[in-house]
Amino acid sequence: MFAVYAHPIRTGDRASNSIEYKPLISIADWSCHCPFLDFFLPASPLFQTPIQRRPAVECRQSLCDRNPQDARFFYIQTRTTLDMSQQFNPCITDDGSYTFFSEEFGQTFHSKYGAKEESIYKYAIPTLLSEKASRGHLRILDICYGLGYNSAAALATIWRSNPNCTVEIIALEIDRSVPISAIEHHLLNDWEEPIPSLLTQLIQMESILVPRGSANETARLNARLILGDARQTIVDPLDRGFQADAIFLDPFSPTACPQLWTIEFIDRVAKCCASDGIIATYSCASAVRTAMVEAGLFVGDTSPVGRKSPGTIASFNAAQITPLSQQEREHLQTRAAIPYRDPTLSDSMAKIIIRRELEQDDCGLETTSQWKKRWRKN
């Protein structure tokens, strides 16, 4: 028995801006297992009304990962180029700063409560950059560079505290058109000079080395943008033994981009963290916190900015972290805390999600609603 679907897929190399949309008709065998799981993922039970329940983007992604040689799965494809690059239009957030909306992930790049505030209060402040600037040299790993707000907020915070502090940044981003659009729309101009000029140069040249003064002095800013899937590009700082004082972990949400919240990826992130470095993220998902704990990190809250839920900070140095409350620690014992896994760091979003759902079904742990009820009773 076969099922037939028609929908677009995106192909091409996002890092180099070449993107094609191809209408695709897929014909799949009901008995087909792995690829099919990807394909039908959000439908529950699995094989119900698959396409209608999935955003087109997810279908594209999982189909791109599919092996067309698989005898159980084959497709007919008509080549039509619909689009060559991503266009992003600024949308305003509550603090007056702008963000973008991603059609692909179905999310804005920042909290609607304030894009600029998020970069300051979820990243620059919790990583203690202002205090650490007195050391005279800081290293930052900016994962999911996006519009560049987190790097901009970090530089502003550091140089306000110590204008002579030298800074090294490694920025990982898959889609160059995001920072390019931010520059075209002058969105970095919310920060004082020389930050917009330096970050513009970084995006144009993909690296920047700004001498502080005489030739013997260390550069004031030494930054590199590495384009590609962060699951692979993180090998670069890892191999160089880069030990960051601050790591900004800022992918789209775990349900939209689970690839960058897995045990395996967060383990790599942790390996890039200095012994008293701090990893900051806006997410407080228990699955993410579990992955951090598994990597040997101590985990704590950052204060909520304009919304109910806090973010997370993590460090190998417990002294840098205010421990989680008893209630939050108990949430790490629920179904929600089952982490995302991606053993080869190459699985599709859909495969990672379904792997976690299967593990959750088998785990026998309390659900979040049971946990909530229990805490309301206490």
Ligand X SMILES: C[S@@+](CC[C@H](N)C(=O)[O-])C[C@H]1O[C@@H](n2cnc3c(N)ncnc32)[C@H](O)[C@@H]1O
Q: Is 206 a binder of ligand X (CB under 6 A)?
A: no
Task: Please say which residue, 41 or 187, places its beta carbon nearer to ligand X.
Answer: 187
What is the strand order of the sheet 207-211 is part of? 207-211, 219-227, 166-173, 137-143, 244-249, 273-281, 311-315, 298-302
At its nearest, how many Å lie between ligand X and the CB of residue 10? 13
User: Looking at beta carbons, which residue is closest to ligand X?
Assistant: 146
Q: Is 190 a binder of ligand X (CB under 6 A)?
A: no
What is the Cα Rg of the chain in Å?
Answer: 22
At its nearest, how many Å lie between ligand X and the CB of residue 149? 3
Residue with tokens 């209608």: 52
Q: Is 257 a binder of ligand X (CB under 6 A)?
A: yes
Q: Is 90 a binder of ligand X (CB under 6 A)?
A: no
Taking the CB of residue 365, how many other CB atoms lie within 10 A of it? 14
Of 50-58, 125-133, 139-147, 351-359, the window that binds ligand X (rule: CB under 6 A) is 139-147
Task: Please say which residue, 232 or 368, places its beta carbon nearer to ligand X.
Answer: 232
Task: Please say which residue, 36 or 100, places its beta carbon nearer to ligand X.
Answer: 100
Q: Is 174 a binder of ligand X (CB under 6 A)?
A: yes
Determine which residue in the list 9, 155, 158, 172 makes contact with ligand X, applying CB under 6 A: 172
Determine which residue in the list 250, 264, 342, 347 makes contact with ligand X, applying CB under 6 A: 250
Q: Is 40 a binder of ligand X (CB under 6 A)?
A: no
Determine which residue in the list 26, 93, 119, 312 makes contact with ligand X, applying CB under 6 A: 119
The CA distance from 14 to 177, in Å, is: 8
Listed in sequence order, the DSSP H helices in 216-367 are: 230-233, 235-239, 263-271, 286-294, 326-331, 349-363
Binding-residue pattern over the window 208 to 247 for ligand X, x denoting contact by CB under 6 A: ---------------------xx-----------------
Residue with tokens 């677009």: 8
Question: Which residues, 6 or more positions from 210, have their beta carbon under 8 angstroms from its beta carbon?
Answer: 198, 219, 220, 221, 222
Residue with tokens 């990243």: 123
Phi, psi of 64, deg, nearest 5: -60, -30
Pairing of strands 73-77, 18-29: antiparallel
At its nearest, how many Å lie between ligand X and the CB of residue 315? 20
Q: Is 342 a binder of ligand X (CB under 6 A)?
A: no
The CA distance from 154 to 211, in Å, is: 19
Of 45-53, 148-156, 310-318, 343-351, the window that binds ligand X (rule: CB under 6 A) is 148-156
Q: Is 57 a binder of ligand X (CB under 6 A)?
A: no
Q: Is 159 a binder of ligand X (CB under 6 A)?
A: no
Q: Is 61 a binder of ligand X (CB under 6 A)?
A: no
The CA distance from 210 to 320, in Å, is: 31
At its nearest, how many Å lie between ligand X and the CB of residue 68? 22
Q: Is 146 a binder of ligand X (CB under 6 A)?
A: yes
At its nearest, how many Å lie between ligand X and the CB of residue 369? 28
At its nearest, how many Å lie between ligand X and the CB of residue 124? 11
Task: Please say which residue, 39 or 88, places its beta carbon nearer to ligand X.
Answer: 88
Phi, psi of 179, deg, nearest 5: -65, -30
Residue pair 196/135 in contact (Cβ under 8 Å)? The answer is no
Q: Is 140 a binder of ligand X (CB under 6 A)?
A: no
At its nearest, how many Å lie between ligand X and the CB of residue 248? 6
Question: Which residues, 6 or more positions from 292, have their beta carbon under 8 angstroms from its beta carbon?
Answer: 266, 270, 279, 299, 312, 314
Determine which residue in the list 124, 144, 208, 354 makes contact with ligand X, applying CB under 6 A: 144
Residue pair 244/272 in contact (Cβ under 8 Å)? The answer is yes
Residue pair 47/1 in contact (Cβ under 8 Å)? The answer is no
Task: Please say which residue, 149 or 242, places its beta carbon nearer to ligand X.
Answer: 149
DSSP letter assigned to residue 124:
I
Q: Is 150 a binder of ligand X (CB under 6 A)?
A: yes
Residues of this chain that bind ligand X (CB under 6 A): 109, 119, 144-150, 172-175, 178, 229-230, 250-252, 257, 259-260
